Structure 1
Amino acid sequence: MAGNWLGLLSIGVFYLIVLGIGIWASRKSKREERKCTGNSSEVTMVGGRNLKIWVSIFTMSATWVGGGYILGIAEVVYDPTKGLVWVLGPLAYALSMIIGGLFFVKPIRSKKYVTFMDPFQEKYGDTLAAVLFIPALLADIFWTACILGALGGTVSVVLDISSPLAVGISAGVAIVYTLMGGLYSVAYTDVVQLGLMFFGLWFCVPFVLTSPSSANFTVAAVTKLHQEPWTGKLQLEELGCWVDDILLMAIGGVCYQAFYQRVLSMATDAQAKITCYAAAVICPLLGIPSIIIGGVAASTNWNQTSYGSPSPYEEGQARMILPIALQHLCPFYVSLVGIGALAASVMSSIDSALLSAASLIGRNIFKNIIYKRASERMIIVVVKVSVLLCGIIAAAFAMTSKSFYLLWYLSADVLYSVMTPHVICTFFLSQWVNQYGACSGFVLAILLRALIGEPQIGLPDVLPLPWDKIQEDGHRYRLFPFRTVIMLLAIVTILLVSRLAKMGLLNRTSDAETDTNLCSMAPIQTDMVEGKRLDKEQPLFSEGDDV
């Protein structure tokens, strides 16, 4: 019990440090708001567009390297049915940052947008943009719920503390400092959180490696010891699914408002691109400790640990393998440092997701649709209220749902299938698309994704897919890259329907012009008979006429 109280005290101290930094940053935010009286809401949402480059690099990296990233890598490495070859996060996140820096920085910054929904409202109008706003908002809320749930499960495993209590406290702290300082508080607390995350996890690695219960994890990478080698295997038939998952995270990552919020917070395009490229290096490096811990867990004889038998995988606790390894392979004080690192990773993503969702609500829904005459102060109030409401909703999901990972996965799935076509078409093919094509692409993507189904939520698979593999437990393993196919079909549909709609409008316009010309010619012909000429540009006779 004393250990539990000590653990609570250490996490409490960490949260107080983060809260103190958030309060300090909020004062800087208030000073910037007074300088930018005309656009004070932009200080809250994009930091007044003058965030220091080193702060931007830290906050971009910390946002992507969240609790799901840290826990998920260790889980996949430890899982004997997957292994290191299926750890796609580091590679996908690096690709996402590079793609964002190369192709998306300049378009979103060209007109000084505030959110990535601004180009949609400018191109398609408020109604369609509001519909496209829904998957983006749900993705942020479910992402927050997933991260909070991951923290709650981690703390409950190591410290034997109620998971809802951990979720509530973490959400409360993140909401408070995000409310106080907006992007400034989020960015500067991310600097501390990223540092704690990096040093905390690396501090635990030597203790995990030297645990007497662990075999040589380098040998276990290629040789079967207590389970299959943790490097894993990639069958040729699984290549399509592997590529589909990478594209889901790499290209789908540039559909999150959190990415554009950091890109827009920089003073110049060059600084924004440097931020992306630096994050492309940092994100994979921060995944290395999780890979090592997952590999060690796969090479551990759990009968010789305080965990006992059966193993965490057999107990269905592979998701929590990182905190389990910290608890049973490290001294207690070391595991506390590791939990502090996990808490840092969780907090660094929660605040970003909350502010992203609130910025979309405050600007694109309230300011641009509901009340277009809203003052800057009113917009800031709406953003803060939205932070509170989104945080409460996400915490409720995390407390009551056992499938928060599934919720995040499905939200990312829909965001990739539905939003990616519109982001690509609006940013790069704007002159060839219109609202008719956008509506058609949106409906098609939703319809196809619904027909393909999702057994984990009880949605039947009406539309069969090729290359499906039925496992021994009856679970259908999808090998066909259906999400990428849906995304490509949606792009083709947007372009095709837009072209057809434009041709139809042009035909109607041509017909109308023809009718107008015929009507306008009548008095001219009459006047010609009378020997008068009203249209001086129209020749009285044309060549070849028989005078």
Structure 2
Amino acid sequence: MAINVVGLVAVVVFYVLILAIGVWASKKSKKEEKKCVGTKSEVTMVGGRNISLLVGIFTMTATWVGGGYIMGTAEAVYSPSQGLIWATGPLAYVITFFLGGMFFAKPMRSKRYVTMMDPFQHRYGNSFTTFLLLPAVISDVLWVACILAALGGTISLILDLSSTYAIILSAAVAITYTLLGGLYSVAYTDVIQLFFIFISLWICVPFLVLSPAISEIKFPALLNQSQQVHWMGELKLEDAGKWIDELLLLALGGLSYQALYQRILSASSSLQAQITCFSAAVLVFILGVPSVIIGAVAASADWNQTAYGYPPPFERGEAGKVLPLALQYLTPTWVSVLGIGAVAAAVMSSMDSVLLSSASMIARNIYKSTLRKQASDKECLWVIRLTVLLVGLGGMGLAFVGDSVFSLWLVGGDLIYCIIFPQLICVLHCPCANGYGAATGYFFGTLLRILSGEPLLGLTPVLLFPGWRKDEVTGVVLQYFPFRTLAMLVSLLSIPLASYLAQLIFTHHLLPHTWDILGVVKEERETAEMRDENVEEKLPTASDKLLATTSTIC
């Protein structure tokens, strides 16, 4: 097949535009470094806490509206085994931003943290923070690999170009402008990418709906109750546990990503951070509507009337590519090119955020705080740049592996939900949490998740929860109980209980203080001393009373 030259030129022009905006934003970043009171590395990581409200809203939304969100929503709506009710992405992300604005934005921004791992480092120390940071960074690398692989498959389908070139080109552009300007380049390119996603996808929708291969799209409101709309899907009572588990995995797991807090911490105030989250909740839902329509159109299409032919994508095992397939075979060429531009924009808007978030945590919470405490600010900047490059190249290399990377990324998301999310709740909202509780929660959350099994990795479940089934074709055991949420809750409850127990043991001398390797007793003593000092400062002295009386008389 011949390369789609017009489409290729359009994609290259789009990439050049994004790169130009990134270069312009890098100049703004350098100007901000001169004005900023903080270090240059903080300007790179959180934009000098001077990102405007509108840019903050757009970059927050663009980070979550990635290739997986757009293509995954369309796939779920199209798939006969799922349908709209199983497309939990839009609802889950609304919950993520709403809860983020309500309970996480203010405590994180008011204390002027720089990364999501800062509160852990302040309370538990460097060793546990490094241990907790590992699954977050691994998940980010695998996330980069997955979104690049998705983009490569989409471009190769529509432009008849090798996916290898698409992956390399996209990675190179995203790495370059992230290296140049840090958060400023990421934020301002996200604005353009978000506009492009919104406009191009909505332009595609009318052409899809009016395609000759679409005879009728059935909507529930136009049908009798006895008639079922296949793309709406069905949620049976025995599947409710799995549905809840997947919804909470996306919604609450999303609160455990550094990319979210990088935007919260870049706001000029706690109030602006909260407004950013609430506004992003509205926009992310609106941007999911075109994908829902595309999935419904693909489910209603007569593919035999197109060049794609019969059987349809689901029967060929290509449901994951239904969005680019619909653009390719149900719309004119120039419209499909716009669609591929939207996917490319979505992928890059997520990739640059992931690159910078991983680099920020590694540079600040591992290199600067643990490995080399005397490192200069300039040295930290170079570590950030080197890490951006390594994470980008690592993700690009893994993108060629295929489905196994996607499986690992899903498991990485599980670990973030089961381990990091309960830790984050406790470190921000549970004053009694200490290192012993954190380690206990980490252990039980990980153990329970592993024992629950994972078909994607070939792990047979040791614990069989109510409602489990065995696939008739593959023989794989599938859990329909919300086992991920159970692991998260066990971890969440273990942290305060184990913390209180450890505190009780050492303060009542049930074990000698020399066994207190995490310093719980020492922390309690320092806290009490600080409390006493504050009380003494507030109590008026005799001279203060005399001075007050004199002032009153005068």
Report what 2:290 is aligned to: 289
Paired residues of 1:215 and 1:296 also in contact (CA < 8 A):
no
Tell me the distance in 1 between the aligned counterparts of 2:235 and 2:395: 35
Report what 2:504 is aligned to: 503
Report what 2:490 is aligned to: 489
Work out the percentage of aligned pairs sharing the same amino acid.
Answer: 51
Q: CA deviation at 1:245?
A: 1.1
Render the CA deviation track for 1:435-459: whole Å, top value 9, x for unaligned.
Answer: 1111111111111111111122112
Q: In the TM superposition, what are the counterparts of 1:209-358 in structure 2 within 5 Å?
A: 209-219=209-219, 229-358=230-359
Change (3 A) 1:475 1:511: closer
- Range 340-349 or range 140-149, more displaced: 140-149
Q: CA deviation at 1:309?
A: 1.1
Report what 1:541 is aligned to: none
Tell me the distance in 2 between the aligned counterparts of 1:284 and 1:470: 35
Report what 2:122 is aligned to: 122
Q: In the TM superposition, what are the counterparts of 1:317-466 in structure 2 within 5 Å?
A: 317-429=318-430, 431-466=431-466
Tell me the distance in 1 between the aligned counterparts of 2:191 and 2:434: 41
Amino acid at match of 2:433: V
Render the CA deviation track for 1:484-505: whole Å, top value 9, x for unaligned.
Answer: 1101111111122111111110
Q: Secondary structure at the match of 1:382?
A: helix
Paired residues of 1:223 and 1:229 also in contact (CA < 8 A):
no
Tell me the distance in 2 between the aligned counterparts of 1:478 and 1:114: 39
Q: Secondary structure at the match of 1:467?
A: coil
Paired residues of 2:256 and 2:421 also in contact (CA < 8 A):
yes
Render the CA deviation track for 1:499-544: whole Å, top value 9, x for unaligned.
Answer: 11111101228988xxxxxxxxxxxxxxxxxxxxxxxxxxxxxxxx
Q: CA deviation at 1:219?
A: 5.0
Paired residues of 2:3 and 2:161 also in contact (CA < 8 A):
no
Tell me the distance in 2 between the aligned counterparts of 1:462 and 1:277: 41
Change (3 A) 1:169 1:223: farther
Q: CA deviation at 1:338?
A: 0.6
Q: CA deviation at 1:295?
A: 0.3
Q: CA deviation at 1:220?
A: 8.7
Render the CA deviation track for 1:157-176: whole Å, top value 9, x for unaligned.
Answer: 11121112111110110000
Amino acid at match of 1:138: I
Amino acid at match of 1:434: N
Q: Secondary structure at the match of 2:196?
A: helix
Tell me the distance in 2 between the aligned counterparts of 1:171 and 1:9: 18
Tell me the distance in 2 between the aligned counterparts of 1:432 and 1:414: 24
Tell me the distance in 2 between the aligned counterparts of 1:510 and 1:257: 38
Runs of 4+ in 1 over 6 A off after TM superposition: 220-224, 509-512
Q: CA deviation at 1:470?
A: 2.6
Q: Secondary structure at the match of 1:313?
A: helix
Amino acid at match of 1:313: F
Paired residues in the alignment total: 509
Q: CA deviation at 1:465?
A: 1.9
Render the CA deviation track for 1:396-438: whole Å, top value 9, x for unaligned.
Answer: 1111233333222111111000111100111100x21111111
Q: Secondary structure at the match of 1:218?
A: coil
Tell me the distance in 1 between the aligned counterparts of 2:499 and 2:54: 42
Paired residues of 1:38 and 1:376 also in contact (CA < 8 A):
no
Q: CA deviation at 1:36?
A: 2.8
Render the CA deviation track for 1:119-164: whole Å, top value 9, x for unaligned.
Answer: 0011101000100001111121111111111101111111121112
Report what 1:73 is aligned to: 73
Amino acid at match of 2:379: M
Q: Does 1:174 align with 2:177?
A: no
Render the CA deviation track for 1:184-208: whole Å, top value 9, x for unaligned.
Answer: 0000000000000000001100110
Paired residues of 1:422 and 1:491 also in contact (CA < 8 A):
yes
Q: CA deviation at 1:178?
A: 0.1
Tell me the distance in 1 between the aligned counterparts of 2:512 and 2:359: 47
Paired residues of 1:78 and 1:318 also in contact (CA < 8 A):
yes
Report what 2:547 is aligned to: none
Report what 2:21 is aligned to: 21
Tell me the distance in 1 between the aligned counterparts of 2:511 and 2:309: 80
Change (3 A) 1:2 1:220: farther
> Could you list the runs of 5+ residues in structure 2 that have no partner in the other structure?
514-554
Q: CA deviation at 1:93?
A: 0.2
Q: Secondary structure at the match of 1:508?
A: coil
Change (3 A) 1:16 1:326: same
Report what 1:194 is aligned to: 194
Amino acid at match of 2:449: R
Q: CA deviation at 1:228?
A: 6.9
Tell me the distance in 2 between the aligned counterparts of 1:247 and 1:293: 25
- Range 457-466 or range 485-494, more displaced: 457-466
Tell me the distance in 1 between the aligned counterparts of 2:279 and 2:375: 38
Q: CA deviation at 1:209?
A: 0.3
- Range 395-404 or range 106-115, more displaced: 395-404
Q: In the TM superposition, what are the counterparts of 1:92-103 in structure 2 within 5 Å?
A: 92-103=92-103
Paired residues of 2:3 and 2:160 also in contact (CA < 8 A):
no
Q: CA deviation at 1:472?
A: 3.1
Report what 1:137 is aligned to: 137
Tell me the distance in 1 between the aligned counterparts of 2:173 and 2:323: 24
Tell me the distance in 1 between the aligned counterparts of 2:360 and 2:246: 28
> Could you list the runs of 5+ residues in structure 1 that have no partner in the other structure?
513-547
Q: Secondary structure at the match of 1:215?
A: coil
Amino acid at match of 1:367: K
Tell me the distance in 2 between the aligned counterparts of 1:510 and 1:200: 66
- Range 407-416 or range 382-391, more displaced: 407-416
Report what 1:90 is aligned to: 90
Tell me the distance in 1 between the aligned counterparts of 2:107 and 2:261: 11
Tell me the distance in 1 between the aligned counterparts of 2:266 and 2:79: 39
Q: CA deviation at 1:110?
A: 2.3
Amino acid at match of 1:188: Y
What TM-score, normalized by structure 1, do the two folds share?
A: 0.90
Report what 1:531 is aligned to: none
Paired residues of 1:146 and 1:407 also in contact (CA < 8 A):
no
